[in-house]
Amino acid sequence: MHTAFFAVDLVGSDGESLAFGVKFVNTDGSAYPFDDYTHAYTVYDDGGSEVLSLDESDGITIDAGTGQVDILRLEPGLAVGYYVHRMRRTHVTTEVVEDYFDGSITIGN
């Protein structure tokens, strides 16, 4: 079940790197306030254990001018299986944490 603002479900193979991008803009078309937040991306296995955690220092790239957010993990890729992932933001002043998106990742051979 999705609990975030958006759902992002991915399908891939065990021979691939994990890489995808999303674009954020406000509903009025103005730039999203990325500087007001820190960002984190996490992947969990089907047992709920964390298998990958990225932030802006090691895998999340944000272009505030275009609103483009890229997630990249080159090696190792994910093993065959089912995963849950989410990207969340933490407000730098209030420390309120919210999920941007969550969803599933299914990795086959």
Distance of CA 29 to the CA centre of its chain: 22
Q: How many domains does the chain have?
A: 1
What pLDDT, in 10s, does the model give residues 72-83? 886 677 889 999
CA distances to 22, 23, 50, 83 from 29, rounded to whole Å, are 15, 12, 35, 32
pTM: 0.86
In-domain check, residue 55: yes
Report how far apart the first and last C-alpha atoms of the chain are (Å, whole number): 25
In-domain check, residue 102: yes
Query: Is the N-terminal amide bond of 76 cis, ω within 30° of 0?
Result: yes
In-domain check, residue 84: yes
In-domain check, residue 18: yes
What pLDDT, in 10s, does the model give residues 39-51? 999 999 999 999 9
In-domain check, residue 44: yes
Low-confidence ranges of the chain (pLDDT < 50): none
- What confidence score (pLDDT) does residue 65 get? 87
In-domain check, residue 58: yes
CATH number of the CATH domain containing 30: 2.60.40.10
In this structure, what is the dihedral angle of CA atoms 84, 2, 17, 51, given to the nearest 10 degrees?
Answer: -30
Host domain of residue 42: 6-108
In-domain check, residue 1: no
Angstrom distance (rounded) from CA 67 to CA 109: 33
- What confidence score (pLDDT) does residue 82 get? 95
